[in-house]
């Protein structure tokens, strides 16, 4: 359960995550997609209920708009792990970031996102949380990220409006609606077809209900006239 002001974001919402799941979180703006990621990452807490995690679970979180220290350079931000630097440098180079002494504040939005991804994806973790990771990225960087996630053996939970990215990467879709979370097996297209079928079924059920009400009203009118 999570509430902001007078707006209930989640109300008795729950779903389970297993190792190796690649879950795409979808829902209209304001439904709580980013909030859910923050709660899983531990940056926010539920107002009621809890996020249950396996002991020792290591999470990596890439927010939609990363914040950097003032005057940070690519080198001071991403290359401060000593002997582990080679993996970060390799990622940066593959993402076309080669001048490590540039100040991050002078980079474009896409370059900043690539620096964050290069750093975080060089580490070892059990669960990767990504909030709109393809925002500002060019096609080559998106392809690189897709390849990484497809080959990643652990768990991925991603918020994205990029249906092509979700189709390529995800094996499940978590749909947030009316404060609930419903999990669908399959990629974005499978979820979309399933949700459209459900909408058609609901409309048909409502139509039949309205027809029965109309028939009853007509019967009552005839009975009253007699």
DSSP symbol at 73:
B
Q: What is the pLDDT of residue 223?
A: 63
Confidence of residue 83 (pLDDT cuts 50, 70, 90): low
Give per-residue pLDDT as tens, 130-139: 999 999 999 9
Residues forming a β-bridge with 156:
22, 128
Give per-residue pLDDT as tens, 146-172: 999 999 999 999 999 998 999 999 999
What secondary structure, in 3-state letters, does 171-188 show?
Answer: CEEEEEECCEEEEEECCH
Rounded to the nearest integer, the mean pLDDT of the chain is 87
E strand or H helix at 127, and its extent? strand 127-131
Task: Give the Å distances, CA to CA, from 8 to 3, 45, 51.
Answer: 4, 14, 18
CA 119 remoteness from chain centre:
20
Rounded CA separation 101/55 (Å): 38
Give per-residue pLDDT as tens, 104-130: 999 999 999 999 999 999 999 999 999
Residue 20 CB coordination number (10 Å): 11
CA 194 remoteness from chain centre:
19
| pTM attached to this predicted model | 0.81
More confident residue, 31 or 220: 31
């Amino acid at each position: 359960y999570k509430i902001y002001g007078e707006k209930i974001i989640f109300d008795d919402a729950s779903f389970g995550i297993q190792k190796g799941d690649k879950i795409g979180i979808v829902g209209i703006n304001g439904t709580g997609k980013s909030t859910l990621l923050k709660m899983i990452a531990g940056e926010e807490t539920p107002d009621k209920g809890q996020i249950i995690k396996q002991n020792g679970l290591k999470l990596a979180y890439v927010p939609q708009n990363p914040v950097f220290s003032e005057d940070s350079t690519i080198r001071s931000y991403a290359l401060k792990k000593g002997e582990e630097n080679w993996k970060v440098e390799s990622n940066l180079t593959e993402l076309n970031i080669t001048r490590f002494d540039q100040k991050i504040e002078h980079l474009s939005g896409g370059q900043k996102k690539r620096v964050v991804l290069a750093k975080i994806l060089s580490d070892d973790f059990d669960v990767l949380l990504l909030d709109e990771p393809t925002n500002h990225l060019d096609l080559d960087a998106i392809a690189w990220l897709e390849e990484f996630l497809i080959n990643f053996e652990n768990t991925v939970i991603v918020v994205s409006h990029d249906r092509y990215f979700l189709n390529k990467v995800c094996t499940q879709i978590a749909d947030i609606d009316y404060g609930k979370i419903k999990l669908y097996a399959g990629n974005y297209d499978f979820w979309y077809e399933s949700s459209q079928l459900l909408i058609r079924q609901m409309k048909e059920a409502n139509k039949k209900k309205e027809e029965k009400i109309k028939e009853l009203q007509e019967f009552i009118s005839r009975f009253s006239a007699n």
